[in-house]
Structure 1
Amino acid sequence: MPPAGFHHVEIWVADLALVEPSWKWLFGELGWEPYQNWPEGRSWRIGDSYLVVEQSSAVRPGLPYDRMRPGLNHLAVHAPDRAAVDRVHRVGPQHGWRRLFASAYPHAGGTAHYAAYLVDAAGFEVEIVAPAGDEVTEG
């Protein structure tokens, strides 16, 4: 059977130095490993998939990223368990992430969906999703 899921995702940013610490922390918390490192970018890998955050010289100048415009609205990634979702939600603001839908945490996506929604300093949203049926209590 061929691999499933995405091969890689690239997120182009206007300021790598602004967002790299947040992404590095987040993916470290979720068990992703550093993968590539070059002056304009970083990547992290889990399984056969990897994610790139890059300050490409090909980025067109213009308005800052707006997740409400056509294009990528958010990236959703798996967490190993509910405890990881809780930890990321709790500690994320200390690492450059702003909480979204905090008043509805952890069920902003519905009662059967356990997730944290975070936004980095550049406006990119990440949804951290616990496995279905994981009944670890919130902590």
Structure 2
Amino acid sequence: MAGQIHHIEFYVSNLVRTINFWEWFLLELGYTRYQKWDKGISWKLDDAYIVFVQAEDRFLDVSYHRCRVGLNHLAFYAKSRHHVDEITNLLLEKGITILYSDKHPFAGGEKHYAVYFEDPDRMKVELVAP
């Protein structure tokens, strides 16, 4: 297990909005709810987990942007191209904008079948077919 990701933790501007956005997606990918407390929540898949924590009010004056120094995006494997298409349809039903829609599903290149979108704090998320 040396070198594998143990967990990833994000501070978010609105925990309720974040849970509403991420929960359905992570459950769709096979994650299960792992921990929940007043200021945070996590979901786990195998031995790794993703944590979202409510940022303190005093830190909300600077918003996140994926093109600044720091994390650009998270990319997850889908089960198949069909799974990418299913998730894309769910995103659209939920009113979530597909990034690079003019090139979808090949925005990452002709051999890279994926959907790109943003979470409520504008972090880019990618779902890639194997």
Give ranges in structure 2 of 5+ residues lacking alignment: none
Please name the residue that 2:78 is paired with.
79
Map 1:14-29 → 2, pairs under 5 A: 14-29=13-28
* Contact 1:12 1:59 (8 Å CA) reproduced: no
Name structure 1 gaps, 5 residues minimum: 132-139
Q: Per the alignment, do residues 28 and 66 of structure 1 end up closer, same or farther by CA in structure 2, a change over 3 Å counting?
A: same
CA shift, 1:127, in A, is 0.5
For 1:32 and 1:84, the matched residues in 2 are separated by 15
Equivalent position of 1:46 in the other structure: 45
Aligned to 1:135: none
Task: State whether residues 77 and 127 of structure 1, in contact with CA within 8 Å, keep that contact through their aligned partners in structure 2.
Answer: yes
Superposed CA RMSD in Å reads: 1.8
CA distance in 2, matches of 1:57, 1:43: 18
Alignment-derived partner of residue 34 in structure 2: 35
Give, in angstroms, the shift of residue 10 of structure 1.
Answer: 0.6
Alignment of 1:82-101 (within 5 A): 82-95=81-94, 97-101=96-100
Structure 1 residue 5, shift from structure 2 partner: 3.2
Structure 2 Cα separation of the partners of residues 9 and 99 of structure 1: 24
Cα deviation for residue 57 of structure 1 reads: 3.5
Deviations 1:43-65 (A, max 9, x none): 11111111111114397232211
Q: Figure out how many residues of one structure are paired with residues of the other and give that number.
A: 130
